[in-house]
Structure 1
Amino acid sequence: MKLLPKSAFGQTVLLIAILLLINQIVSLVSVTFYFVSPNVKQINHLLANQIKMVNVAGLDSKNSALQPQLFEVAGMQIYTQEEAVEKGLDHAIHYQSWSNQMSDILQGEAQVRISQGEPYLYWINPPQNPSIWITVPMIGLGQGDGSPHLVYLLMIGILSVGGSLIFVRRLNRPLQALQDAALLVGKGLVPKPLKEEGSIELIAVTRAFNQMSKGIKQLEDDRALLTAGISHDLRTPLTRIRLASEMLPTDQEWIKEGIVHDIEDMNEIIDQFIDYVRQDQQECMENGNLNDLIKEAVQARNIEENHNITLNLKPLPKVLIRRVALKRVLDNLIENAFRYGSNNIEISSGHDKKNHQLYFSVRDFGPGVPNDCIQSLFEPFTQGDKARGSLGSGLGLAIIKRIVDMHSGHVTLKNHPDKGLVATVFINCQSS
């Protein structure tokens, strides 16, 4: 069912609430059958005995000689129908269950009414003399507002629910912290060690997560150091090869150009390796406008011949972004569009207010990519060579995805219905 809560907190609270409700119903039924009902019967018997006493004495509303003494001893009054109405009979509440019990005891049809006040008055119309009403005061009955056992049950329920909420929240807090930290790890970030609190099982899980997070951080640092060291060591022989190529004779210029071209490709691949292991986590978030970044990236490309960029930018609000990291995303998408798509590309932006997201897309007019290969392009060292004839390390889209994940967004690739490939980046709105 859609109405059932999905979280452990909601399910636990719902379970406790249902158990408490069942407990309250059972308690109410038990109190009614084993406490209230016997007391009601006992009161009815006492009242019936007093009515029998009046009948034995032969008293009625016309025989008033003994009424003052009866009132002084038992507080009882005897009224005719007219006198009872004047004294407030019509305002008294009729209780059918009490009337039935009284009828059984007095062996005739009797009526019982109760008027609230201090004291409570029981109005009884005996079957032996239906023309009179006898009032019997019950001092102390009904003092306080409401039935005491219902108040007790209500207080017990409130205290139980409040205590369970505190308990479940205390249980849920470390789980929520663990979930938030796991999401950060999934984005490539390393959270601070979590506080070990809660039950023994939660403390053990939190301690294991902290150790895992520390191990992941160590692996990332080792990988970054290894890749940076290899890249640094490769650049030295590449530089020597380039210097040696400059010493080739003039008639071997074509060999020199080939060597220089290969060296530039290798330097570009090395740069991609460094960009991939670099997380850009040290860059601070700042207020910025995506349209400004797009315009800066396009302006840097305007110096290139035979490359044309069409802009379709809609007004966007300022949000918290990592400017340098997103600039790298734009540069990579534009470079891919020109290199593997077409010389003419289109960049557009927009604001999805319903989902609280900003987006920008880069479209080329090339051959596109087979649909079954699109998702795999985001994996490291994966290329779309078959469709777009590319060369390189295959890290460009993996770098883009990692940066976008740090902004709590996502990136999509899809073939345009007419022609070309469209890369769209969605960024969650986070204003300062």
Structure 2
Amino acid sequence: MRFVPRSAFGQTVLLIGILLLINQVVSYLSVTYYFIRPSYEQINSLLATQVKGILASDMLTAEPAKQQVFTERTGIKVLSPEQSMQQGLRNSTYYGFMSAQVSEQLAEKAEVRISTTTGSDSPYLVWIALERFPDHWIAVPISGLSEANISPLTMYLMVIGILSVAGGWLFVRRMNRPLQALQRAALQVGKGEFPPPLAEQGSSEMIEVTRAFNRMNQGIRQLENDRALMTAGISHDLRTPLTRIRLATEMMPEDQEWIQEGIINDIEDMNAIIDQFIEYARQDREEVRENTNLNELIEELTQARHIEESHHIELALQNIPSLSLRRIAIKRVLDNLIENAFRYGSDHIVISSRVDTQQKRVVCSVRDFGPGVPEKDLDAVFQPFAQGDKARGSTGSGLGLAITRRIIDAHDGNVTLRNHPEGGLVAEFWLPFRR
């Protein structure tokens, strides 16, 4: 379990929060030790002085009349335990640090308690009991303790901390917004799409990065356009001599029919390779997405394949939701996978579809019952011009799976190959959906 976030946004907010927490703790301790503590020490010193005065005048052992006169003049009461309980000692609170300081100044053990009163100018009573006079309590009225209450200080520090963290969060969010836009644009470029230039905003460093990305995006787009134009030009120039060769082949004598058939097959293979080059360069970026049920495309392609009697397709389709797809591009994906399964696998294949509700995606797989592909070559066959079935005499340009992966990536999905435990190869791709 990670406690440190991975994103720069989360790390910055966490850093601000930690710094503010340290600042709050230091402020709290500083106020406590340099303002509140001296106030309480001064109060304890005054209480000890009052007790010393009472002890010096022997007021604890004086007659009740004399104690009454003393109370009227000073407000300090000398009470028995029973009287003390009746006048507020029962609801008092013991304070250890005050007892320790008063005991230290009196040079004898003392117990200090504080209770509140009503209807008096002095809202607090400090109760003091000395060890050598266990049958007497001294009640000293005092005011000003409420001014040293640390609850408002705590609330103040909490409010300041919350406001500071919220302000830092808004600031960092504003700083990271251009980074998020840059991330989305980079993902689009990785899929072969070219977003419009990003707005140059944020800090000076962020503006420079955005400007460099816009230039890179424009350069890659120009390179892609040049490559598509060059591929189309080369393909067009190659088709012209291929057409002339085919016409010349048609006029060959009948006794050379076997040569004629071989040349025509080679020309058809070359035309198919040229078509794949064009498809790989074009990427079908101009096609508009539309809501489509993948099962319908599978059934349509399966129906078209029934013209070949040697090929058999078994369907295992489940109910799946409609997806926003480029129909022609996805049909090309399915056609490539089916063609590879028949060409390099077996005459019997199984096409299945299902819904992964946990991951919110639709999964489609094409399985053949051939010898499969070596594990080390499973991912390499998706590279352009790579062929993973050299042992069986593969033909073609090696662009079929590269085109398939590019189309699936453009749909925010993924495509993989794996060998089935019972034999054969499984080509599987998934596409995300939203309810």
TM over 0.5: yes
| AA in 2 matched with 1:63 | P
Count of residue pairs brought into register by the alignment: 430
Measure the CA separation in 2 of the matches of 1:74 and 1:159: 48
Residue 32 of structure 1 is matched in structure 2 by 32
Partner residue in 2 for 1:166: 170
* CA–CA separation in structure 1 for the residues paired with 2:261 and 2:410: 40
How many Å apart are 1:333 and its aligned residue?
0.8
Instruction: Say whether the 8 Å CA contact 1:376–1:382 is kept in structure 2.
Output: yes
Aligned equivalents of 1:177, 1:162: Cα separation in 2:
23
* Residue in 2 that maps onto 1:102: 102
CA distance in 1, matches of 2:315, 2:43: 90
Query: d(CA) in 2 for partners of 1:131 and 1:46?
Result: 23
**Secondary structure of 1:413's match?**
strand
Q: Determine whether 1:245 maps to 2:246.
A: no
Cα deviations by residue, 1:242-280 (Å, 9 ceiling, x for unpaired): 333333344443333233222211111111011101222
Q: Distance in 2 between matches of 1:13 and 1:201?
A: 20
Q: Structure 1 298/24 Cα, relative in aligned 2: closer, same or farther at 3 Å?
A: same
CA displacement 1:293-319 (0-9 Å, x = unmatched): 111111111122211111112222223
Matched, 1:179 2:183: yes
Partner residue, 1:46: 46
| Shift in alpha-carbon separation, 1:116–1:239, aligned structure 2, 3 A | farther
1:300 aligns with 2:301: no
Select the residue among 413, 420, 424 that pairs with 2:424: 420
The residue aligned with 1:275 is 279
* Pick aligned residue for 1:141 from 139, 145, 154: 145
Contact 1:285 1:320 in 2 (8 A): yes
Which amino acid is 1:86 matched to?
Q
Q: Which moved more, 1:287-296 or 1:28-37?
A: 28-37
* Aligned residue in 2 for 1:363: 367
Verify: 1:88 aligned to 2:83, yes or no: no
Report which stretch shifted further, 94-103 or 200-209.
200-209
Structure 2: where are the runs of 5+ without partners?
none
Aligned mate of 2:205, from 201, 206, 222: 201
Q: Specify the SS of the correspondent of 2:64.
A: coil
Structure 1 residue aligned with 2:316: 312
Secondary structure in 2 matching 1:142: helix
Query: How many angstroms does 1:217 deviate by?
Result: 1.1
**2 CA distance for matches of 1:136 and 1:286?**
86
2:391 equivalent among 387, 391, 395: 387
What is the Cα-based RMSD across aligned positions, in Å? 2.4
Q: Offset of 1:286 from its aligned partner?
A: 2.7
Does residue 328 of structure 1 match 2:318? no
Residue 81 (structure 2) pairs with residue 77 (structure 1): no
What does residue 15 of structure 1 align with?
A: 15
Unaligned residue ranges in structure 1 (runs of 5+) = none
Residues 132, 379 of structure 1: CA spacing in aligned structure 2 closer, same or farther, 3 A cutoff? same
Q: How far apart, CA to CA, are the structure 2 residues paired with 1:44 and 1:108?
A: 14
Offset from partner CA, 1:372-416 (integer Å, 9 cap, x none): 222221111112352231111111000000001112221111223
Letter in 2 for 1:243: L
Q: 2:344 aligns with which of 324, 340, 343?
A: 340
Aligned partner letter, 1:54 = I
C-alpha distance 280-145 of structure 1, shift in aligned 2 (>3 A):
farther
Equivalent residues of 1:51, 1:126 under 8 A apart? no
Tell whether the 8 Å contact from 1:381 to 1:394 is kept in structure 2 after alignment: yes
